[in-house]
Structures are given as C-alpha cells and as structure tokens.
Amino acid sequence: MSDVLRRIEIPIALTIIATLLQVIPYYFEIPALESAANTASNGVLLIVACATFVGVISIIQVHGKRIQRQSEGWYYSLLVIGLSVIMALTGLPFPEAGLGVNNSIYNWLFINVQTPLGGTMYSIIAFFITSAAFRAFRARNLEASIILVAGTIMVMGNAPLLTNYFPFIADVSLWIRSVPNLATMRGVMIGGALGSIALAVRTLMGIERGYLRGGGEE
Amino acid sequence: MAFLIAGRIFGLLCLLVIMASVAYYIKQAQGGTVPKVRRIPGIDAIDEAMGRAVEMGRPVFCSHGIANLRAATSGPQTLAGLSVLSYVAKQSLAVGAELYVPVRQPEVWPVAADIVETEFKLAGRGDEFDPDKIPFLSTQQFGFSSNYMGMMMRERPGANIMIGAYWAESLQLAETGSRIGAMQITGTANSSQIPFFLVVSDYCLIGEEIYSAGAYLTNDAPLIASLAGQDVGRIIAVILGLLGALTVTFGSNILLDLFAM
C-alpha cells in the first residue's frame, strides 16, 4: 500500500486536477466546477494550516538539538523555542480563557518584540542599499556608466533643493522612469508571464517534474 | 456565449494558442526535432559556483524564495526555484558539497526536504540526509531574512544560489552573501527586486529565465522544446504591442475592444 502511495503519478495527477479546477472556472461559467474549485481552495487552506505544525516540528528539531548539545549560541535557540511556545499558547483562540489576540502577554510580545525587530530589519535595508549603490555606481564599462548616469539623475531628481533651481532635472528623471525604465519593466513582466504560462503547460502535461522528488526519477 | 465569461475570451484564446504551440514543440521534440536554446550564463555558472565552494571547503546555500506554492504570480517562481534545488541537490552529492536549504513557508518545507532526501536516496546515501540542513526559519519575512543572514555569517557558504520570488529581503540576503565572498547566482521574476540582484550578485537570471532554468538544467528534449513554444507567445505579444501602438496612434480602439471581449 505504501508503495502505491509513493508512486510519482499521484502528485502529478493531483497537480493536473488542481490546476484544471482553478483554470476552467476562470474562463467558463460552470457552477458545478466553480463550487468544486471553492471546495478545493478551502481544502488548500486546511492543508496550509496543518503545514504550520510542520514548521514548528522543524524548529523544535533544529533548535532542540542545539540546546541538547549545548552548541555555540544554544541560549538563542532556547529563546526561540521559549518565545514560540509562549506566543503559541497565549495566542490560542479561546477568548473566554483570556487567550487569543487580545491577551496582554501576546500583545506585549507582538508590540514590543516582534514589531520593533521587524522594523529594525526592514530599516537596515538603507545601509545595504548604500553599500550596493557604492558597488554599482562604478563606471567600469559602458553599461555600468549608463547605470551611473541614470542613477545620479534619479537621485538628483528626488532632491527638492536641486529640482527647485534646475527644474529640467525633474523632467529628465521623470522621462527615465516613465519611458526606458517602464518599457524594460513591461518587457520583463510580459516575458515573466509567458514563462509562467509555459511552466504551467509543462506542469499540466506532467513533464515538468523538477518540483517532485528526484525530478520524478523514483 | 454565456458559457464563456465575458472579458476573458481573448485571454483564453491567447492562452490556448500558447498552450498549443508549447504542446506542438513538445511533440516535435518527442519525434526527434529539438530546437537550439541559447546559453544562459547564470544557469551554466551553477556548477562552477558549487565546484568553487567545494574547493574552498565551504557549504552551498540554495533558496527557492519566500513565496508559497499557491499565489498566482509568485507560486510558479517557487516551483522554478524547487526545480533548481532538485538539480543543486543532485550536483551537491556528485561533487561532495554540503547543502543548506533555508525555508520560509511551512507548506513548502516538506516538498524541499523531500526533493533533497530523494536525491540522497537515489545516490544510495539516504542515511546521510540531515533534515537540520533544511531548516524552516520563520514565516515572518524579516525573521526569515535575519535568520538566513545569521546562517550565512556562521556557515560562510562558498556559493549562494537564490532563485524564486523575493521581496525586500533580496538585497539583505544578496549583500550579506557578497560580504562573505560567496559566489552568488540569483534570479527572480519580481521586477522590483531584479535591480538589487543585478547589482549584488555574480549572475542574475532575469524574469522568465528562472522558469526556463528547470528545463535547461535537466536538458530533457520535451522540456527544452517547450521553451520554443513560449517564443510563439512572445512573438504574439510583440505583434499585438506594435499593432496596439499603431491603432491607438491612428485613433482606433479596435484592439482595445478585442482585448475586452
């Protein structure tokens, strides 16, 4: 029985059915299929909710071993598991027991730990942009020189002091953004859309198997 | 025509034409006619990056992005990333590289782990598979990125391969990889992140190149042929774009009306 369940045809067939269930009701008005597609979407939500536990198991496996072996920085692992347990328990959807999103511990951790840490991580992008810009803005060849010139104009175009005295910089900056930049981005987007359609067709035909175990060789 | 949903008929026609052309070229390939595909330096460099990492005695990091498999635009990017992971896992066993796969989405974790584990089994080394090297980091975007950066600083990978859907964390990850001297191959179809990857990484796959990566790496004739079918769609897009520009310039809305069918 387990050999049958591990057959590669099963995930391929499931993928094809799930894809058709989403694609056909998008173009055709077939109430029965639409209802089946909605049921399938709800099923996906349930699977995703269950998959959260898989993530928790992975965290416990990785960090649990680190704590057990007292590897370097094991106390951080303890902090991860401890805070995960506290957040999970206090966030349980039982408001009558004082738990859930209105729980004071849950709220305190969310507002005073998670939000500022997330904000900090986001804000350090500014420093990464500076060092990346330093590397990018070197006129090593013609392409790099074009980036340097265009980037400099864009930066200048966003500086009110400069655009106040030299209004043409704002016009040039706007032109760069809305003509060559937009044209390139549209090209990338159209190409990306075509690529994803071709990938969908390959998946639908069961020949794209890279996402399956061993590329479907098993 | 009530059977067909209004406003989506032209889209369906385009989709059918592209699907038919992809299917046609796949059939041709099965008959022995395989079109030539241009080399993509970024994909060719994956072997080089892995070899370099092994020579340096450093591990290889391979990430398939931070998106799930469900989203309409980012899901296919995750699939493309997983196809690359399949190849990287196989090659890492062939060249003896230590592979780490940081994961953000819990629902993608079993798929990624299964891909790597199966490659170990196919190589007859199933007992060497270590699930700790495919850690689920965090569902939080910046929780994931800070954890990934920390892993990179500790493990100091010689190669960092990131192909999939990325958002604001793209620069954080690629810049950290650059600082530790990892050879980086990146790729995304998220147009807002492509410039960051281009600036920081050694090779960058732009947009549709990531979808071709799986076909390109497996070198399987029908998969390679499907890329030619994709080109038919591109030709249609160019023709419609030119016709649209001309008709709108001359004051006609015929194409706009056709698109709205």
Rounded to an integer, the average pLDDT of A85-95 is 93
Please give the backbone phi and psi of residue B244, each rounded to the nearest 5 degrees, phi first. Answer: -60, -45
ipTM of the complex: 0.88
Query: What are A215's two structure tokens?
Result: 């590329």
Rounded to an integer, the average pLDDT of A14-41 is 91
Question: Worst-scoring range by mean pLDDT, A51-65, B193-207, B213-227?
Answer: B213-227
The count of C-alpha atoms lying within 13 angstroms of the C-alpha of A36, restricted to the half-sphere facing its C-beta, is 15
Give the closest-approach CA distance of A190 to chain B in angstroms.
8
Higher pLDDT, B94 or A138: B94
What is the DSSP pairing of strand B159-165 with strand B203-206?
Answer: unpaired
Q: To 5 degrees, how large is the angle CA B238–CA B241–CA B245? A: 140
| pLDDT at residue A218, as a whole number | 47
| pLDDT at residue A1, as a whole number | 58
Over residues B74-125, the pLDDT tens digits come to 999 999 999 999 999 999 999 999 999 999 999 999 999 999 999 999 999 9
Decide: A80 and A65 in contact? Cβ < 8 Å: no
State yes or no: pLDDT of B168 exceeds 60: yes
Name the pLDDT band for A206 (thresholds 50, 70, 90): confident
Q: Which residue of A has its CA nearest to B2?
A: A29
Q: To 5 degrees, how large is the angle CA A114–CA A116–CA A118? A: 65
- Tell me the DSSP string of B157-176: -SEEEEEEE--THHHHHHHH
Name the pLDDT band for B172 (thresholds 50, 70, 90): very high
Q: Indicate the helix (H) or strand (E) that contains A3.
A: helix A2-5
Q: How far is CA B156 from CA A121, A147, A201, B31, in A?
A: 20, 30, 39, 47
State yes or no: pLDDT of A2 exceeds 70: no
Query: What integer best gives the mean pLDDT of chain A?
Result: 89
**What separation, in Å, do the N-terminal and C-terminal C-alpha atoms of chain B show?**
11
| pLDDT at residue A136, as a whole number | 78
State the amino acid at position B48 in one-letter form.
E
High-pLDDT (> 70) share of chain A, %: 96
Q: Which residues of B touch A211 (CB under 8 A)?
A: 79, 82-83, 86, 111, 115
Please give the backbone phi and psi of residue A210, each rounded to the nearest 5 degrees, phi first. Answer: -60, -30
State yes or no: pLDDT of B230 exceeds 60: yes
Over residues B10-26, the pLDDT tens digits come to 999 988 998 899 889 98
* Distance, CA of B202 to CA of A172 (rounded, Å): 31
Rounded to an integer, the average pLDDT of A123-142 is 86
The residues of chain B that CATH labels 3.40.50 are 41-218
* Bridge partners, A28 (sequence order): B4
Rounded to an integer, the average pLDDT of B27-46 is 89
Q: Which residue of B has its CA nearest to A206?
A: B223
Closest partner residue to B82 (CB to CB) among A131, A197, A210 is: A210
Per the listing, tokens 């050694």 go with B202
Higher pLDDT, A141 or B62: B62
| pLDDT at residue B62, as a whole number | 98
Q: Which residues of B touch A215 (CB under 8 A)?
A: 83, 86, 90, 218
Query: What integer best gives the mean pLDDT of chain B?
Result: 92
Q: Indicate the helix (H) or strand (E) that contains B62.
A: strand B60-65
Alpha helices in chain B (DSSP H): 9-30, 41-56, 75-95, 109-122, 141-155, 169-179, 194-200, 209-218, 221-249, 254-259
Which of B136, B146, B188 is most worth mutating to test chain A (most A CB atoms within 10 A of its CB)?
B136
| pLDDT at residue A90, as a whole number | 95
Q: Which residues of B touch A214 (CB under 8 A)?
A: 86, 115, 118-119, 121-122
Rounded to an integer, the average pLDDT of B242-251 is 94
CATH code of B41-218, in short, is 3.40.50
